[in-house]
Amino acid sequence: MSLFNFYLFMANFKQRTRRIWLTLIALIIVFFAFQIISPSGHWTCRQDFSVRGENLFNRTCLGQASPGERVARGAGGPLLLLADPVYLSVFAPRAFSQAEVTIVYRPHLSSSTPIFEAGFLADSKLWRYRLQPIYNLWLEKGLSDWNVIKEDTQLLFQKENRFTSISEFLNEWQTGESVCQSVNCIGTYNVDLQDYPPVLNLSTLTQADSNTVLPYTLRGAHQFYLYLSGNDLEVSGRLLDRNNNIEKDDAEFLIFSGQRAMASVKIEDDRSETEMSGEDSAPESFRISRNDLQPGLYRLEFRANDDLSLENLTVNSAYLSAINKIWPDGADPVRLYSDAPYLQAKAIDPAVLQDIRFGESIMELSEIYKQHEVKSNRAGIQTIELASGGVLLENNGVFAAQAEQLLNPEYPRLDRFAPLSGQLDYVFADYQPAEQLEDGWLKSSVIFASGDFYREKSNYNLILSAPGMRLDSGAGGLIEIKEISVKFSGKNLWDKIRELMLNL
C-alpha cells in the first residue's frame, strides 16, 4: 500500500469512526430524551430485590426503603419488611394519570397483622396516603369455614348460607330489607359504601336543632360527622397558631355530603406573629354559615398542619363525632367516648406520658413516638379517660365528648380488630386474591388513578403498610418482598401535541 493510500485509508477510518461515535452519542441522547419525555405515554419502574447488587437504573428508579431500621435484606436478597410503615420514592420522568403497582412477596402474617396494603402520597401537607389492598389474611384464609360467593372482584362471605348470589344480597341490602338481626352485622373491606344503605337509620336521630360545643382544644387536622335536622349549618370556633414551623399555617374547612364537596372556606395565615418564633398567636375567631343545605348526614373536614389548634368548636347539631382520630391538647383532664373496641395512642412529648383508661382496661404510655394499643374486653361504647391532653388517639371508629353525640355511618372494617367471632354475619369485599407463584411467592397488582398524587423532584412517594407490625412485637411477623414494579401510563406525545394545538 502506497503512502498516499495509507493516508487516505486513515482519513476514511477516522471519518467513519467519528460518524459512528456521533451516531452513538445521538442515539444515547435520543434514548434519554425519550425516557424523559416518555412519548409513548408509558413508563415502568421495576426492581428485583432478590438480585444481589443494584444497577444504576434501579437506584435512580426506586429509592432506598426507609426508615432503615424497619427493613433488612434476607439471605437470598429479598427486602424484608419488619415494621409498619415503610416508604420508597419512585422516579417517574413526568406526571402520569395512572399507576399499576405489582408486588411479588411472601407474607408471614398473623391475626394481629392480617393486612398488607400499598399506596401513594396524595396530600403532603396532611400526610395522607391513598391505599389499596395487596393481601388480606382474613379474605385469603381466615374465613375458610364461611360460605363464599365470588363475582369478578366482589366477594361475599356468609356465616350461614342464605344468599345464592351477590346481586341477591345487594338487592335485599339496598332495598332496606333486614339482612340480619344484630347491629353492624356486615363487615366490609375496600368497598365504596356511598351507594349502599348507611348503618344509621337517620329517622331515629335527634331532630331538634341544638348547639354542640367541643370542650377540648384539638391539634392539627380533624374530620367530623354531624347531622343537620334543618337547612342551616353554623360552625364557629377559634384558631391558635403555635408558630413552631417555618411555613405559613393556612387552614381550610370543607363540608361534604357523601363524597360531594358542598362548600369550602379557606383561612389564610395573616397573623402578625413570626413563624418559628414559638410565640402563640392570639386566638383568631371564625364563623361559617350556610342556609341552603338539606337535612341529613354531613362530614366536616378541618385541614391544617400540627402547628394549628382548633378551640371551642361549635356546630348547630346534636351530634359531633371526630372520625378515626382525635388529638386533644392542653393540661386539663380529658374524658371521651368511642364506639370502637380498641384504642391506639401516641405521645410526642415526655411531659404527657401517662396511664390511659379505656373501658375497663388501663394502657400505660411508656415511650414517646411509640404507638401503644389496648383492646376492651367488652363490646359497646367505650369511655376514655386521660389525666391531660397532648396524646394522639386513633381507631377505626369515632370519638365524642358525650356518648349521645356519637355518630358513625360506617360499617365495621375487616381489619385486625374485626369482631369475626361474634358480631359479623357477612363480609362484603372488593378484593382480588393473590396469584400463587412457586416456592410460596404471591403476586398482587393494584391500579391507582395517580393524576392528583403528590410528586416532588420527579419522585412519587410509595408506602408499604402492614398495620400492627412492629419491631417490639413478636406477633407482628414480617413480609418478604422479591419484586416491585410500578407501571405508569398517561397521554402520549401525540395526544399532548393535539391538546396543545386545540388550546392555541
Instruction: Give the residue extent of every domain in the chain.
Output: 3-37, 42-131+435-493, 201-319, 325-404
Angle at 276 (CA atoms; ends 271, 281), nearest 5 degrees: 35
Pairing of strands 426-430, 154-158: antiparallel
Residue 313 pLDDT class (50, 70, 90 cuts) = very high
The CATH architecture to which 42-131+435-493 belongs is Sandwich (2.60)
Residue 38 pLDDT class (50, 70, 90 cuts) = low
Instruction: Tell me the per-residue pLDDT of 249-265, one tens digit each, with 9 for 90 and over.
Output: 788 999 998 878 888 88
List for the chain the helix, strand, coil content (%; round to 5).
15, 40, 40
Say how far apart CA 395 and CA 408 lie, in whole Å: 13
pLDDT at 59 (0 to 100): 47
Say how far apart CA 173 and CA 179 lie, in whole Å: 6
Q: What are phi and psi of 60, to 5 degrees?
A: -85, -15
Domains 42-131+435-493 and 201-319 share a fold: yes
CATH topology of domain 201-319: Jelly Rolls (2.60.120)
Identity of the residue numbered 482:
K
Say how far apart CA 106 and CA 344 lie, in whole Å: 27
Write the CB contacts of 490 (distance below 8 Å, at least 6 apart in sequence).
Answer: 38, 41, 94, 95, 96, 97, 98
As a whole number, the mean pLDDT across the chain is 83
Instruction: Tell me the per-residue pLDDT of 263-309, one tens digit each, with 9 for 90 and over.
Output: 888 888 776 666 666 677 778 899 999 988 998 899 999 998 888 89
3 state SS of 462 = strand
Asked if 415 contacts 467 with a C-beta cutoff of 8 angstroms, the reply is yes
Q: Which of 123-127, 151-155, 346-350 has the lowest mean pLDDT?
A: 123-127
* Neighbour tally for 153: CB within 10 Å: 11
pLDDT at 494 (0 to 100): 59
Whether the upstream peptide bond of residue 85 has omega within 30° of 0, thus cis, is yes
* Neighbour tally for 314: CB within 10 Å: 16
Instruction: Tell me the per-residue pLDDT of 442-454, one tens digit each, with 9 for 90 and over.
Output: 999 999 987 788 8
* Neighbour tally for 220: CB within 10 Å: 18
DSSP string, 224-276: EEEEESSS-EEEEEEEEE---SSS---EEEEEEETTEEEEEEEE----SSPTT
pLDDT at 39 (0 to 100): 62
Cell of 464: 408499604
Q: Which of 44-58, 103-117, 186-200, 408-422 has the highest mean pLDDT?
A: 103-117
Is the model's pLDDT at 41 over the cut of 50? yes
Is the model's pLDDT at 55 over the cut of 50? no
